[in-house]
A and B are shown apart, each in its own frame.
Chain A
Amino acid sequence: MRVLEKGRIASSQLVMLLVSFGVGSVLVVGKGAGRDAWVAVLISLAVAVVHAVLLVALFARFRGRTFLQIIDLVYGKYLGKLIAIAFLWYLFYLTAVVFSEFINFFKTTVYTTTPAWVILVVGLLVCASAARNGIEVLARTSQLLLLFYLANLVFTVVLLVKDFQLENFLPVLDIGVNKLLWVAFGIASLPFFEVSVFLMIFPALNRQEELLSTMVKGTVFSGLILLGLVLRDIAILGNLTEFFTYTSYQVVRLINVGKFLTRLEILVVLNLITMGFLKVSLLYYGTVLGVAQLLRLRTYLPLVFPIGVLLAVVGLNNYRNIAENLRFVEYWRLYAFPFHVGIPLVTLLIALVRKLPEEGAN
């Protein structure tokens, strides 16, 4: 199989990509656990680190091969193709789902009368351009945008500190264990396990020996940011965290410093635009790269446009309304589990049992 991506990224860039990817979710997070959502985040973060180690273990075992090559090697020609198609379907569908979630958010908050297809087409064009430019450009963009995101985030948190009500956290853990684990499972599935798309990106890392520490760092950083967000939201909203559709957006709407610094919710929208762009572009890029590898193309560039059209169609028609979106998110953890945990885990187990790759096969 030819090398489709010649770009190389540094470890620090991969960390930033991981963080951008992790925080770029609209429907953050922990709905259902109320004031104990932060515990669910901590649990899911621990699980996410294990998952990250799993991905690295799988990849490191077949050093130098792409994920689709690994699948081919482990499952054989025919079954391998089938599993590769399933994984690529997951990536493609995830891209469309994430994109349509962002559109729902924008339609609800700021672009209420702009037709969805306009937001979608304009957004997809930008993401397509990013995907065409490859991983190096994406990594550099994330360096820039993440800085902006963090500054923005710190700014809003600082302005809200005076309104924190710490008694909102009491009583701690007055919630059933099952419920807590279900919510933690949800947070793990969205966004943490979604880093499975990085299986397509690992080969681009210029220092492969740093892969493990990079993955763990990126996962932990993005987890800590999510934890901070959840803590902030609970400290401000208390029993209203479940009441609002978009909790973070609502929290920042409440900023009021001296009657002067108010109406800052556009900052949240900006942050979600930048991080959403990075997340969708990464998923988009992973999808087209994977399809190109599956079809043994020399380059993935001709795939960007047709897959973009498919993304637009699926993205626009995936949900008929936002209630379907919210219901879907409830079950996404079950739907996605076989793809982002199942396939890598089973592949690694089979490789261990069959002692793949065989010596000298490289």
Chain B
Amino acid sequence: MVKFRIGLVGLALAFSLMLSGCWDQRELNDLAIVSGVGIDLTAEGKYQVSVQIVKPSAIKSDKDQKSGGSGQAVWVASAEGYTPFEAVRYLNTVAARKPYFAHSSVVVLGREVAESGVIPALDFLYRDGEPRLSQWLVVTPGKAVAVLRSEDGLEKISAMGLEEIVREYGFFSQSLRIDLNDFATRLRSRTTAPIATHIEVYEDQGTQRARIIGIAIFKRDRLVGTLDKAETRGLLWVLGQVESGIMVVNHPDGRVDLEIMRAQGRIIPEVRNGVPQITVEVAVFSNLAGDSYVGGIATPELLATLDRKQAAIVRNEILAAVAKAQELNADIFGLGEAIYRRYPREWSKLEPQWETLFPQLPLEIEVKSQVRYIGLTTQKLGPS
């Protein structure tokens, strides 16, 4: 019996030699860590998938050379295929390591692929277990690969820089971050139009850089138009997504900066006799942040004027966004869903005609505007 037990222990120890790790382990040096994915459509209708791969050695070498510089620690590889996933596997015709998508933080769509429909381009990102759904979805008017090739001034991995630009939209609130999960939620809605951050590549002293230019609008899964920065903020007021930002109020004698401190937005639907009506309630609270207005002593009267002008700006931005959305017949605000949530019975009659209803839907905008604080100075900079 004792011998048997010793034998068992020996067997267990022998097993531990063989079972020393995970079955499908993949070590770091076998992986090509993807920081960003780009999908384009080629002239002959194939998908071109580009991945920005992190070069670990290039990140490390920075410590040796003190200057640092703008050297990017990435390599952008591209491959083509009839489906995006086929293209992903053909990436291994140029790269010896298997691309690992779990750390990718942004998915870039080129204009052609966005216009031809994004469902076939994106499905594999949802189905596969590796890519995260927290990746930002961005659209570019040019080629996606150009965005991945662009450089970032702060980050050695430019896709991570891009990820941060998209995430911190709240500093100026004229863009919106949309991750794959948000995009799918809009895509699966029967009326709400999907949107994505709109990014362009520009040249800055000989280097290619990426910047936000607003929002791209989809109808079903096809790119149909864009919002510029002011129109985008109009959308954000309605969605209640404005975080901060500067509003410039024109005054006959100069300009006044108002810094948005807090904003709220609410869509209130109403259906009367089968006719839908939408009220948008926006509240905005801001501080006086800069003043080039010559007579600029902060008086209650001045602030009251600024209140009114601020409200007018907000209203105009919303109207611009609404006009664009109705022109494109793309319900970017989710008005249809808002009606459905409140009036499910009436909605069953409205939904079939939503395509014709939405472009002429009357919108009432109520803005509550308040300029509250004036900062550390009470008078203008200059002789009074």
Contacts and interface: CB of A to CB of B under 8 A. Distances in A.
Given A109-B129, A253-B133, A239 B24 contact: no
A174 B344 CA distance: 7
B129 A108 contact: yes
Contacts of A174: 344
B92 interface: no
Interface in A85-135: 108-114, 118
Contacts, number: 43
Given A113-B24, A167-B341, A171-B342, A239 B129 contact: no
A171 B342 CA distance: 6
Contact of A253 (B23, B132, B341, B342): B132
B23 A239 contact: no
A254 B23 contact: no
A238 to B, nearest CB: 6
Nearest to B102: A263
B278 interface: no
B341 A113 contact: no
A78 interface: no
Give the secondary structure class of B's interface: helix
A114 B188 contact: no
Contact of A239 (B102, B126, B189, B344): B189
B269 to A, nearest CB: 11
Interface in A165-206: 167, 170-171, 174
B129 A112 contact: yes
27 contacts: A108-B129, A112-B24, A113-B23, A113-B24, A114-B23, A114-B24, A170-B341, A170-B342, A171-B340, A171-B341, A171-B342, A174-B344, A238-B185, A239-B185, A240-B181, A240-B184, A240-B185, A243-B126, A243-B184, A250-B133, A253-B132, A253-B133, A254-B133, A254-B134, A254-B181, A256-B134, A263-B132
A250 B132 CA distance: 10
A262 interface: yes
Given A239-B189, A240-B181, A118 B341 contact: no
Contacts of A109: 129
Interface residues of B, number: 17
Given A239-B188, A240-B181, A171 B134 contact: no
Contacts of B189: 239
A115 B344 CA distance: 48
Nearest to A175: B344
Contact of B23 (A111, A240, A243, A250): A111
A171 B184 contact: no
Interface of B: 23-24, 102, 126, 129, 132-134, 181, 184-185, 188-189, 340-342, 344
Contacts of B188: 239-240, 243
B144 to A, nearest CB: 24
Contacts of B133: 250, 253-254
A72 B341 CA distance: 56
Among B102, B126, B181, B188, the one with the most A-chain Cβ atoms within 10 Å of its Cβ is: B181
Given A109-B129, A112-B24, A263-B102, 4 more contacts: A167-B341, A240-B188, A253-B132, A256-B134
Nearest to A238: B185
Q: What are the 5 A-B residue pairs with the smallest beta carbon separation, nearest first?
A: A170-B341, A113-B24, A171-B344, A114-B23, A174-B344
Contacts of B342: 170-171
A290 B102 CA distance: 47
Contacts of B23: 111, 113-114, 118
Nearest to A114: B23
A351 B191 CA distance: 58
Interface residues of A, number: 23
A250 B189 CA distance: 19
Contacts of B134: 254, 256, 262
B27 to A, nearest CB: 14
Nearest to A108: B129
B281 to A, nearest CB: 15
Contacts of A170: 341-342
Nearest to B190: A239
A118 B23 CA distance: 10
Interface string A237-262: 11110010000001001101000001
Nearest to B348: A174
Contact of A111 (B24, B132, B184): B24
B140 to A, nearest CB: 24
A274 B182 CA distance: 32
Contacts of A238: 185
Contacts of B185: 237-240
A181 B188 CA distance: 25
Interface string A203-242: 0000000000000000000000000000000000111100
Nearest to A259: B167
A190 B132 CA distance: 30
Contacts of B181: 237, 240, 254
A360 B133 CA distance: 67
A171 B338 CA distance: 10
B68 to A, nearest CB: 23
Contacts of A118: 23
Interface in A257-288: 262-263
B39 to A, nearest CB: 20
Contacts of B102: 263
A166 B184 CA distance: 18
A167 B340 CA distance: 11
Nearest to B184: A240
A253 B126 CA distance: 12
B226 to A, nearest CB: 25
Nearest to B132: A253
B251 to A, nearest CB: 40
A263 B105 CA distance: 13
A239 B188 CA distance: 7
A250 B181 CA distance: 10
A256 B133 CA distance: 11
Nearest to B130: A112
Nearest to B189: A239
Contacts of B132: 253, 263
Contacts of B184: 240, 243
B180 to A, nearest CB: 10
A336 to B, nearest CB: 30
Contacts of B340: 171
Contacts of B341: 167, 170-171
Contacts of A250: 133
A316 B87 CA distance: 33
A239 B126 CA distance: 15
